[in-house]
Amino acid sequence: MDITLNGKTVILTGAGGGIGSVITSYFRKSGAKLILVDISEEFLDNVHDSAYDDDYYFCDISDQEAVQEFFNEISRKYSRIDVLINNAGIQAPIGQFHTNPLDLWKHNIDVNLIGAVHMSWYVIPVMIKQRKGKIINLSGGGSTSPRPNFSAYAVAKTGVVKFTEELAVELRDFGIDVNAISPGAINTQMLDEVLACGNIAGEEYMTSMKRKVVGGNDPSIAAELICFLASNASDGITGKLISAPWDPWRELDFQDQLRNDKDLATLRRIDNKYYIRKS
């Protein structure tokens, strides 16, 4: 899929991670102006490339004051923000909920869910003013089915999907599309975290061992989907949770379905398998 983002200014959080670095590469090829955000200089070094005119910022997205300072700084340089990609996330703690330290459990929510809330809250007024924008949130395992031993991550990512749906309805009249994607099971540092936990991760430990050998889903598929959702070609698609490896999102017919069927690709129980009919 040939996607052009020339002239678009894009904020990407978690830019130095496994998926973030692939997204960065795709957006550079598309011609976008990138504002790359991560929590440390070490992570941003992973994607630094002097051949591109990217901007790099260190920011803890779970800290509202830090996010406000970041937006204050970029507002002095940029008159518009076209795309926000809420990619930053953490997986820990792993293990049964009642054995998780509560401070780590809540920190997961603060990064994965509240971090996306912080970034969105500050960018939305900019997009409303320009009456155009794209917000793309990364969901993950546990958002549509149980993921035992990963309760904080699953709860946070489910919250991200619901947050996406709510914003999509509120912002539709301003020309702002808000979507979530499920990137699939990609081999990143999160896989190594599962393997390091051993049996504490439950059945997912064995699944992860196999995935380490045979490989996971191709991260470039997720990056390509995100590029599509950032482009004008996706205008009118909003409030959806789209699977990068499984949904036929490249097909025009499916794209039209996403635009016209408000219940498609959402968390609601509306299909023939789960819908409870009145007797």
Residues catalogued as catalytic: 153
Give, to the nearest 10 degrees, the angle between helix 151-171 and helix 115-130. 10
Alpha helices in 131-174 (DSSP H): 151-171
Q: How far apart are CA 155 and CA 228, in angstroms?
A: 27
* β-strand partners of 136: 85, 179
Residue 224 exposure: Cα atoms within 13 Å on the Cβ side: 13
Question: Kind of pairing, strands 83-86 and 9-13?
Answer: parallel
Which residue type does 145 have? S
Q: How far apart are CA 92 and CA 223, in angstroms?
A: 24
Compute the Cα dihedral for 97, 155, 271, 1 and give only its sign: negative
Which whole-number Å values give the CA distances from 183 to 104, 218, 236, in the listed order? 24, 9, 21
For the chain, give me the number of helices (H) and strands (E)?
Answer: 10, 7
Name, in order, each residue with C-beta under 8 angstroms of 218's C-beta and a sequence gap of 6 or more.
186, 245
